[in-house]
Amino acid sequence: MSIDSLKAIIGLGNPGREYAVSRHNAGFMVADRLVESCSGSWKKGHGKGVTAKIEIAGRSVLVGKSHTFMNLSGSFVQAQMAFYRLEPQDVLIVYDEMDLPLGKIRMARGGGTAGHRGMESIVAAAGRKDLPRLRIGIGKPEGERDVVGFVLDRFSPEERFVLDAVLAEAEAAARTWIACGIESAMNRHNAFSLPGEADKEVLD
């Protein structure tokens, strides 16, 4: 694998079976889909986490999952960037976002963290905010429900039905980013809506 041509996709989440299907692990879920669909295999990565080397559109791609827990994700991302000599624009961070409703995704060139602890850790470690990111909407807790409990809880059966379609679109967005770049990925995938949702938004 040529390091010079390498791109990286890092999914954020928490390690451990108890968190595997929680809302906070949406980034892990996208990473798992990519590796499985490309017949890759997870191995111990540099730093505390796992990585898999796959190929998308003729490009070498490193997929990673940090095992430092969400709030310390920056050390794992920094370790991959240092070892593989990755530039910020070559690293796509995939993670959950409460400010987006379930059923939406957003690709962006960079930006703030919106209070997401994983992204805060990565921005602090990298010393910059211009890492591309793909945010997976999980919505916000209703009423006075605890935010931490909400993000660490599992998706409901109804949410899982929506999530499957969203994860498929997120995987496609990551592939577009590899093949065509950030602009094409934003144009093709940021307007994603579930069947019937676009008509519903017009009526609202």
The residue with greater pLDDT, 114 or 131, is 131
> What confidence tens digit (pLDDT) does each residue in 10-69 have?
999 999 999 999 999 999 999 999 999 999 999 998 989 999 999 999 999 999 999 999
CA distances from 57 to 15, 41, 121, 165 (A): 29, 18, 31, 22
**24 a catalytic residue:** yes
Sort strands 91-97 and 59-66 into parallel, antiparallel or unpaired. Answer: unpaired
pTM score > 0.85 for this model? yes
Cβ 8 vs Cβ 62: under 8 Å: yes
Which homologous superfamily is 3-203 in? Peptidyl-tRNA hydrolase (3.40.50.1470)
